Amino acid sequence: MTRLTNCRSIAFSVLIAGLGIPMAIAAPLGLPPVPIPDDNPQTEAKIALGDRLFHDPRFSVDGTISCATCHAPEKAFTDHRRLSEGHSGLLGTRNSPTVINSAYMEELFWDGREPDLEGQSKQPPVNPVEGGLADIGVLVEKIRSEPSYVEAFKAVFGVKAQDITADHFADAIASFERTIIAGDSPFDRYQYGGDESAMSEAAVRGLEVFRGQGRCVSCHLIEQTQALFTDNRFHNIGVGFKTIRGQEAEIARKFLEAKNAGADVDKTVLADKEASELGRFAVIEDINKVGAFKTSTLRNIALTPPYMHDGSLDTLEGVIDFYNNGGREKETDPVTPFLSGGIRPLNLSDEQKQDLVAFLEALTSPEIASQVPSTEIITGNTGDQQP
Ligand code: HEC
Ligand code: HEC
């Protein structure tokens, strides 16, 4: 992890920090220390302010949408919808990933278009299908006109009302997100805690499939002392291929034309279903990366259906069938020419598939599970209606 080298060294224990005193975040079993950027140290007051901003719906055009609408603590910081729904019932093109452990991601969003949590958090309020604010100045005005925020920003950042900027908003939210960390799952206790009885026998067999015949571990990494379950890289595993099949070059050309003429990538990919499927290409403009998306973490995966960047797979069984078929829902479906070399049919038996599910279920952190009463997928005015 290159970014770690830029970061302050971190103690493993939580320091009891007063106002303004930088504090470290404890790393739970199975996770490395949380990277904290030098220019945005954690303080208790900043984290509390970020928590409040994260849950405040005022940063949307109709006053109904906050970060927590799509990243709800009781839904494991997702929304349990295929595609996220912003203000006025508007649908985006993508599934909401969990914010849990996003502090470890080297790039944010499915296509990695933002380098850090600070940059990421300034996008949703002004995205037309999310918060819908006209521009970031509207957000800043909303903060400056609320006396309790003016007081809190002064206490945290030492600024007067007229000096509050969107960067302060971003810093506070990112600090809060860096506290949403969860490890210590049955897998962690088995793998790193020396407790051989922490996982069921099925899950132990599933771990073998994950490392062996399933080859999942080549992208969803498990390391000597920790497991992020992501390589922080981008791969085309076949998801969403049908939407742009055969038209990739034309859609890529149109997208680049618009981008070069000044179109905003964040707004384009969340509003335009075809542009969304370009994946990593939209950011680095490398034709080999058409349809490549960031390897997801698999921690708490049993709590965050539906799956994939387009929310197209409802269950873990469906995900495993997809991989077993070599990156397609049905064995008879065509394969994308952009498919990653790491994806091919796996020939797993029914028992191996069940064991893999048991293993994925062993990646749930108990303190997250206890906050999530239901994992039912919300349908209705959602992804079902996306053309
Ligand atoms: C309308 C629903 C919605 C709202 C509101 C929303 N998000 Fe998201 N969030 C999403 C979706 C969808 C994505 C994936 C978009 C993409 O990758 O193009 C995402 C991605 C993210 C990610 C990236 C995670 C990763 O692994 O890359 C973070 C972090 C995040 N959101 C935090 C926030 C914060 C902070 C706010 C409030 C300022 C917020 N979100 C508001 C739906 C939403
Ligand atoms: C070549 C790299 C690669 C391999 C091998 C791989 N994955 Fe993935 N995985 C990804 C990427 C990339 C995504 C996101 C893809 C997308 O949405 O388009 C993903 C997404 C997932 C998701 C959904 C995550 C979410 O939050 O929606 C699950 C579950 C998953 N993988 C499990 C597995 C399992 C189980 C295996 C082995 C059978 C496996 N993966 C093998 C790269 C890989």
- Contact (CB, 8 A) for 179 and 45: no
Instruction: Tally the domains of the chain.
Output: 3
* 299 and 170 within one domain: no
Q: Has residue 377 been placed in a domain? A: no
pLDDT category at 21 given cuts 50, 70, 90 is low
Q: Tell me what pLDDT residue 7 has.
A: 34
Q: Has residue 223 been placed in a domain? A: yes
24-48 pLDDT, tens digit per residue, is: 777 999 999 999 999 999 999 999 9
- Contact (CB, 8 A) for 331 and 319: no
* 201 and 148 within one domain: no
pLDDT category at 381 given cuts 50, 70, 90 is low
* 351 and 304 within one domain: yes
* 314 and 355 within one domain: yes
Distance CA 114, CA 108 (A): 5
pTM beyond 0.75, yes or no: yes
241-280 pLDDT, tens digit per residue, is: 989 999 999 999 999 999 999 999 999 999 999 999 999 9
DSSP symbols for 3-18: GGGGBPP--SSPP---
Assigned token pair, 318: 């469906």
Q: Has residue 387 been placed in a domain? A: no
- Beta carbon of 110 within 6 Å of any ligand 1 atom: yes
- Beta carbon of 269 within 6 Å of any ligand 1 atom: yes
344-376 pLDDT, tens digit per residue, is: 999 999 999 999 999 999 999 999 999 999 999
* 246 and 229 within one domain: no
57-71 pLDDT, tens digit per residue, is: 999 999 999 999 999
DSSP 279: B
* 231 and 114 within one domain: no
Q: Has residue 159 been placed in a domain? A: yes
pLDDT over threshold 60, residue 383: no
- Beta carbon of 244 within 6 Å of any ligand 1 atom: no
CATH number at 230 reads 1.10.760.10
Q: Has residue 372 been placed in a domain? A: no
284-315 pLDDT, tens digit per residue, is: 999 999 999 999 999 999 999 999 999 999 99
pLDDT category at 387 given cuts 50, 70, 90 is very low
Q: Has residue 383 been placed in a domain? A: no
CA 241-244-250 angle, 5° bins: 135
* 49 and 14 within one domain: yes
* Domain edge (last residue) among 134, 150, 177: 177
Which range (14-23, 83-92, 98-107, 375-384) has the least confidence?
14-23
* 352 and 277 within one domain: no
* Domain edge (last residue) among 134, 158, 177: 177
* 246 and 231 within one domain: no
Structural domain including 25 reads 2-177
* 193 and 133 within one domain: no
User: Which residue is closest in CA terms to ligand 2's atom 5?
Assistant: 216
pLDDT category at 96 given cuts 50, 70, 90 is very high
* 17 and 150 within one domain: yes
Helix (H/G/I), strand (E/B), else coil: 303 = helix
End-to-end CA distance of the chain: 39
Q: Has residue 371 been placed in a domain? A: no
Give the HSE-up count for residue 345: Cα atoms under 13 Å, Cβ half-sphere.
10
Residue from 93, 96, 105, 237 whose mutation best tests the ligand 2 pocket (most atoms within 8 A of CB) = 237
Q: Has residue 386 been placed in a domain? A: no
* 209 and 331 within one domain: yes
Residues with CB under 6 A from ligand 2: 97, 214-216, 218-220, 235, 237, 239, 293, 295-296, 298, 301, 304, 307-309, 319-320, 323, 340, 342-343, 356
